[in-house]
Amino acid sequence: MFERYLKLIFGVDNIKIRSNYIIGCDEKSCIAKGFLVVREITRSLEDLHDGELTGFLNNFVRILSKPFPIEIRTVFIPIDKEKFLNKLNIAIQTKEIVRESDPTNERLATELERLRRLKKKILEGDTPYNVAMIIIVSAEGSNEEDARERLIQRMKILAQDLKDLGVVVEEVRGLFILEVLNRFFRI
C-alpha cells in the first residue's frame, strides 16, 4: 500500500525509505523528501494584536517562500468535549494555585486568562480539536547522496528559521515516517 502511494508521489518505481527521509530515483536523478512535524507554536496567536499577528503571518509566509519545494499538510482532529473540559479544568485549577503563590507572574496570568477564554468558547458550543501539521521538504540531486545532502541542508535552514519565529519543529525519523504517510496522506 505504501509503495503504491510512494510511486505516485515520486513518479518512479525505485523508492526507498531511509531513517529520516524517502528517496526515489530514476535514470536521470533522485528526489528526496523529508518531513518536519510541528510540535509547538510558542506564541498564542489569539494573544497577538493585529499588527503582531500580521507580522507573524508575514514572517511565516516569508520563511515558507524558500527557493525549493515545501508542502504543508494540516489535519484537524476533533476531541471529545467532556474529556477536554476535564483536562482544561485541571490545568486552570493548577495554574490558579500557582498564581496564588506568585501573584506578580504576568505570564502565568496571561496563560490563565487564555485557558479561561478557551473554556468559555467550548461551553458556548465550539468543538475542541487537535491540529497536526507536517512540513514536507523536497530536494533533487544527480544521485542519492547529492539529493540527501541538499535535503538535510534545506531542512536545517527551514527548522532554524521556524524556531526563530517561535514554531518548534522536529524531524520525522524511523518508523514514524510510515505513520506520517498514513495520517497525512490517508493511505
The pLDDT score that the predictor gives to residue 141 is 94
The pLDDT score that the predictor gives to residue 79 is 87
Asked if residue 141 is part of any domain, the answer here is yes
Sign of CA dihedral 9, 14, 15, 21: negative
Asked if residue 128 is part of any domain, the answer here is no
The pLDDT score that the predictor gives to residue 7 is 60
Same-domain pairing of 93 and 165: no
Asked if residue 130 is part of any domain, the answer here is no
The pLDDT score that the predictor gives to residue 172 is 86
Q: d(Cα 14, Cα 145) in Å, to the nearest integer?
A: 15
Q: In the structure grid, which three cell numbers stand for residue 99, read together?
A: 498564581
pLDDT digits (tens, 9 = 90+) for 11-21: 666 778 888 88
Highest mean pLDDT among 43-47, 55-59, 144-148, 172-176: 144-148
Mean pLDDT of 160-180: 83
For residues 118 and 127, the answer to whether their CB atoms sit within 8 Å is no
Sign of CA dihedral 173, 128, 119, 94: negative
Same-domain pairing of 100 and 175: no
Instruction: Give the count of alpha carbons within 13 A of 79, CB side only.
Output: 15
- Burial label for 19, CB within 10 Å (0-12, 13-18, 19+), is exposed
Same-domain pairing of 174 and 117: no
- pLDDT beyond 80 at 8: no
The neighbour count for residue 59, using CB atoms within 10 Å, is 16
The pLDDT score that the predictor gives to residue 148 is 94
pLDDT digits (tens, 9 = 90+) for 55-93: 888 988 998 888 898 999 888 888 899 999 999 999 999
Asked if residue 153 is part of any domain, the answer here is yes
Same-domain pairing of 73 and 93: no
Same-domain pairing of 48 and 65: yes
- pLDDT beyond 90 at 159: yes
- pLDDT beyond 90 at 145: yes
* % of the chain beyond a pLDDT of 90: 30
Overall domain count for the chain: 2
Range of the domain at 107: 81-123
The pLDDT score that the predictor gives to residue 90 is 94
Asked if residue 85 is part of any domain, the answer here is yes
Confidence of residue 103 (pLDDT cuts 50, 70, 90): confident
